[in-house]
Structure 1
């Protein structure tokens, strides 16, 4: 039986975190060497995108963890613990975290990624207007910039296509002007 079929049966075709019944799929709870039902859960796209930090965390969506954290399955407990830890500034999440008991092995697994040490805020690359930027976007300079150590002409209104996001710093992107790759602060850009 496939992993997805096993998780569908276990979860009764519901998200194991929020009980949603649409847009469900397998989520392998990191770190994973060989995916199995013992290290994977069945979740909706809303939960998955917030777990993976592709979207901002909505604390109201996660209130259901006060019930689902009691799952008998370790991977569900691990993700519940991690999300409650990220939401620990919410009083209900802190209270739930205080009463959630995990055996030593499960708690060690939950702490392995270090994700629980971060807060619920997710940083995204945003232009000067607060519009989210993605790899491959086209942007326009809103200010003439001096490019140090180069003869590149970075004037107001210059269009930069196919940008690359700096994964380590949301304040910067990389783009090509006159065939030369430069690093630009996002506060000097607007999405084109």
Structure 2
């Protein structure tokens, strides 16, 4: 019986072939913003094994913001309008996470509403958000429900607006709210044509 000959493929060679495969799929572009600038392979957490489903090509501009090494450029992420439709689960996950970070932006909330992730991919995406999101990032109503820009809320208390004769009655519905950045205790809303700041502890999110 003849000997069985096996070949050991060096790890670097395997990595090169894997990267070539991703570059071919991405057409030598960042799979988030389609930039052709310097690209690297990005493995989406918390996955531990490199596969073509959880890895994709990413440019340095996107990578530095995904990893929170540089300040968020919200206009840059309008590129997600196209990449949310990627067939690569890893791209879908990162797109979802970045849009969640920008939940104070109405356009980001709108994109999130149009996204569809199967249950497995959605759970994967949420696993990463739980790790990177801090309590300071979240606006919550009087019952602890998370608020997003564009939500409608109901006042749980009659409010007198300082510097105005406006009296916002208990039960008033405030539509299309906007979250106040850097202050999770406040939202902005329009009542009787006037934009006012409302404390989140006095509202309940309307489903």
TM-score tier by shorter-chain length is 0.5 to 0.7
Q: Name stretches of at least 5 consecutive residues in structure 2 with no aligned partner.
A: 1-13, 138-207
Report the counterpart of residue 107 of structure 2 in structure 1.
92
Report the counterpart of residue 31 of structure 2 in structure 1.
16
TM-score (norm 1): 0.59
Q: Flag the 1:68–1:115 CA change in 2: closer, same or farther, 3 A.
A: farther
CA–CA separation in structure 1 for the residues paired with 2:113 and 2:131: 18
Q: Flag the 1:57–1:10 CA change in 2: closer, same or farther, 3 A.
A: same
Two-structure CA RMSD over aligned residues (Å): 2.0
Q: Name stretches of at least 5 consecutive residues in structure 1 with no aligned partner.
A: 122-192
Question: CA contact under 8 A between 1:18 and 1:64: conserved in structure 2?
Answer: yes
Report the counterpart of residue 88 of structure 2 in structure 1.
73
1:50 maps onto 2:44 in alignment:
no
CA–CA separation in structure 2 for the residues paired with 1:99 and 1:118: 25
TM-score (norm 2): 0.55
Q: Which one has a larger percent helix, Structure 1 or Structure 2?
A: 2
Which runs of 4 or more aligned residues in structure 1 lie more than 3 Å from their structure 2 counterparts after TM superposition? 115-119
The structure number with the bigger radius of gyration is: 2
Question: CA contact under 8 A between 1:85 and 1:116: conserved in structure 2?
Answer: no
TM-fit CA distance, 1:115:
4.9
Q: Flag the 1:117–1:98 CA change in 2: closer, same or farther, 3 A.
A: farther
Report the counterpart of residue 128 of structure 1 in structure 2.
none
TM-fit CA distance, 1:117:
3.9
